[in-house]
Amino acid sequence: MCAMRGKPSQTAGSKAPSAMAGEVHLGRQLLDFAGELVGIPSPSGQESDIANFVESFLNGCPKLEVVRIGDNVLARTKGARTSRVLLAGHLDTVPATRDLVGAHVSDGVLEGLGAVDMKAGLAVLLALIREAESAAMEVTAVFYVCEEVERARNGLVALSRQRPDLLECDAAVLAEPTGGSVEAGCQGTLRLSVTLAGRRAHTARPWGGVNAAHRLGRMLSVLDAHTCRSVSLDGCEFIESLQAVHVQAGIAGNVVPDSAVVVVNHRFAPDRTAQDAIDHVREVLASGGFDESVGDQLAVVDLAEGAKPFLDSWLLRSLVTASGRVPRAKLGWTDVAFFASRGTPAANFGPGDPSLAHSAAERVTAGEIYEVYMTLRDVLGISRETPLQLRG
């Protein structure tokens, strides 16, 4: 185990003006760099341009081994230090909208699609891996595709099949937006398509049929009234949720629908297995009238296990200490679960307010990026005297 350093005890109020000016300058540099990344559109499945940028940036450091597989780009130090930490960030964003495109930087604030999720985090990781030769441990940085879409397209999954050796590490940090706090573990996610059966008839004579759309009423009421549980694991509170996210019924204005579909999403605490989650939702749906004996059907559309906190890991203990904040549960699914499935301790830690992710209000400040950057520098054992290397 490498010795870790926590944050210096010096407070911002006691810093010399020159030190504070230096922090502001570094924060602005990182913010502008994140703005460059936001300016490169990279919706899921269209990451080639940003992968080219990342690869070129990393190739500027000859002491790193750089590997590109598809549009996934990895860089790692090549020394003989005993521990290896992996830093990971996804290159993709959700699709752009008319009111959310491009990057805007003003007064120390970056706005734009992906500013929070997660190009501010990518900027931090790119800066750190260029400086990692002086770290107290070996460092791998992974920049991967298709995190925002179905699991089968995820870049980490592809890498684990093609070059699993590149993902070997003692612990991992995902630079997902967490507001500078450690978010431990993550929820599992389950999406089910529920088809309620009916019997077709003319709307002038509805008594000859069974209206499947009307059966949705009871189902939706039960889902709306359902009280989800809250589970504390390692002091982190995981709050479950169960929601209808899509409803469809009917083929014409004069036909009683013989089928109605509701898509349900369940975010479950990591103490449940995937089968536990499916069984729980089945039980809730049954109370809402779901009955396979009358032809109702249920299909799993998407399913991913969660991850329990790994707060007993040496890296995560050091990260919590260096952050100076109480860790909390990750309410959402992230690729922390991917590493957990490999037995690798992992946590989420990055700049930006996670509640702004995927919204038209995505924005991150220079101070937020600087804080996460310096915290990870300390945890990795990179000297604060090592200069920021964003060019050349």
* φ, ψ dihedrals at 328, nearest 5°: -140, 170
The residue from 111, 131, 138, 147 that is catalytic is 147
CA distances from 146 to 81, 151, 154, 221, 356 (A): 32, 8, 5, 35, 20
Q: Which residue, 182, 171, 174, 74, is CA-closest to 129?
A: 74
The residue from 92, 111, 117, 183 that is catalytic is 92
> CA 160, 164, 170: angle at the middle one, nearest 5?
110
99 belongs to the catalytic site: no
147 belongs to the catalytic site: yes
The sign of the dihedral angle between the CA atoms of 122, 376, 358, 73 is: positive
Q: Using CA atoms, how far apart are residues 120 and 114, in angstroms rounded to an integer?
A: 8
- What residues are labeled active site? 92, 147
